[in-house]
Amino acid sequence: MSTEKQILVLGGTVFLSLAIARHALERGHRVTVASRGTTGEPPEGAEFVKLDRATGEGLDALRGRAFDAVFDVARIPAHVGPVLDALAGNASHWSFVSTISVYKHFDAVSDDLHEPTAADSTDPSLEAYGASKVACEQLVRERLGDKAFITRPGLIVGPADRNDRLGYWPLRFAEGGEVLAPGPRERPVQWIDVDDYASWLLDAADTGEHGTVDAIDEPLGFGAFLDQVGDALTEHGVLAERPDLTWVSQEFLLEQGVNPWSGPDSLGMWVPTPDYDGFQTRPTGPAVAAGFRASRLGDTVRRWWDANAAAPQLKAGLTRQKEGEVLAAWHDAPVGEGLAGLDAERRFAVPRAETPAYDG
C-alpha cells in the first residue's frame, strides 16, 4: 500500500471519477470529493465539498488547501481555468481526463487535433466536445507543466456505465435466442476498463507520470470480442449454451434505423467501418509505457455481470422488439440489398465519442 496522500477528485460521484475516489480510499488515502452533488453520492469515507463550476460556488472551501494529487474530468474550458487558479499552486500532481475526440480524423489513426475553443468557452454541445477538450488540455499544460498527466480515453466500460455499451452484450447473450450482431466480424473494437483506468491514474500520481497519452486497450475484431463475452459468461456459469449470432451487414443495419455507438435503438460499441477504424485502433504502447495494465475482457465482463445480475436491466440499447424486426427483415431481404438511396451523411452519422467519465 502506498503512503497516505491527500487526494482531490473533482467529480467523484459518477463512473470514472467515482471509481478513482473509491480506489483511492481502498489504498488508504484521504479523499476529498468536490462536485455539485446532483448526479450521485460520493463513496463512503470521502470528504464532500459542494462545488458548482458554473458559479464558482465552493472554490473558497478548496482555495489554499494542498493536495498530493488532483483528478479532473471537466469538459467546459470556462470551468477549468478558475479551478486551476484556486488549486494549481498547491497541487503536486494533476491528472486530467480528456478524450480521443480531440482528434480530427476517425477513419485512420492521426494525431491532428481540433482547433481549440476559446479558453472561456461555456459551450456544452456535443459538436464542440473535442475542441473544448483541446482547450481544457492546453489550460492544464500551461499551468501545471510537468506536473500534469493528460490521458485521452476512448470508450470507457464497466458496471456503472450509464450508456451500457459493453453491458448490452452480456445481458443480451444471457437472454438467449437469435442475437443480432453487426458485421463484419473483423471490424475493430477498442475500450478501457473503468477500474483499470482508475487504478492506473492513481499509480501514475504515485510515480509522477506526466505528458499526454491515449488511454485505451488493444483492439479486437468484433467477432473475437463477442466470442470472449460468451466465454466469460459460460465460465461464470451464466450460459449453458451459446446464443446463435446472426451477422448483419452494417449497411442493412443503418437502413433499418439501428444506431451506432450508444443510445436508443443502438448496438453497443458498434461504429461503421472503415469510417471509424482509426477511432477503434489507437496505439496502446504509450499507455503501457506509462504503467497501464489491462484486465482480460473476461474479467471486465464478469465484473459487469456481478454488479448487475441482481436486477439486470439495460439503460440503453436495442430493444428486443426492434431486434426482432431487423432480423425478420434481414432474413427476408434480397441478396445484396444495402445502402441504396441513403446519402453519406445518413449512412455514417455517428456522434463523436463522449467520455462517460464526465459528471459535471
Q: Which one, of 124, 110, 28, 33, lies nearest residue 76 by Cα? A: 124
* Nearby residues of 87 by Cβ (< 8 Å), 6 or more positions away: 8, 62, 63, 65, 67, 70
Q: What does each of the 360 residues of the chain score in pLDDT, given as a tens digit?
A: 458 999 999 998 999 999 999 999 999 999 999 999 888 889 999 999 999 998 889 999 999 999 999 999 999 999 999 999 999 999 999 999 999 999 999 999 999 999 999 999 999 999 999 999 999 999 999 999 999 999 999 999 998 888 888 999 999 999 999 999 999 999 999 999 999 999 999 999 999 999 999 999 999 999 999 999 999 999 999 999 999 999 999 999 999 999 998 888 999 999 999 999 999 999 999 999 999 999 999 999 999 999 987 777 777 789 999 999 999 999 997 654 443 333 333 333 333 334 333 332
Identify the sign of the CA torsion 268, 274, 279, 285.
positive
Query: Inter-axis angle of helices 129-144 and 77-87, to 10 degrees?
Result: 20
Q: How far apart are CA 209 and CA 212, in angstroms?
A: 10
- Domains of the chain: residue spans and CATH: 6-153 (3.40.50.720), 168-190+219-281+295-347 (no CATH)
List phi, psi (to 5°) of 155.
-80, 120
pLDDT number for residue 343: 34
Residue written as grid cell 468557452: 121
Q: Which one, of 40, 42, 90, 36, lies nearest residue 63 by Cα? A: 90
pLDDT number for residue 3: 86
Q: Which one, of 82, 98, 102, lies nearest residue 143 by Cα? A: 82
pLDDT number for residue 335: 52
Residue type, 248: V
Cell numbers at residue 177, please?
A: 435466442
Q: How far apart are CA 210 and CA 27, in angstroms?
A: 21
Look up the pTM and report it: 0.91
Helix (H, G, I), strand (E, B) or coil at 233: helix
Q: How far apart are CA 236 and CA 305, in angstroms?
A: 9
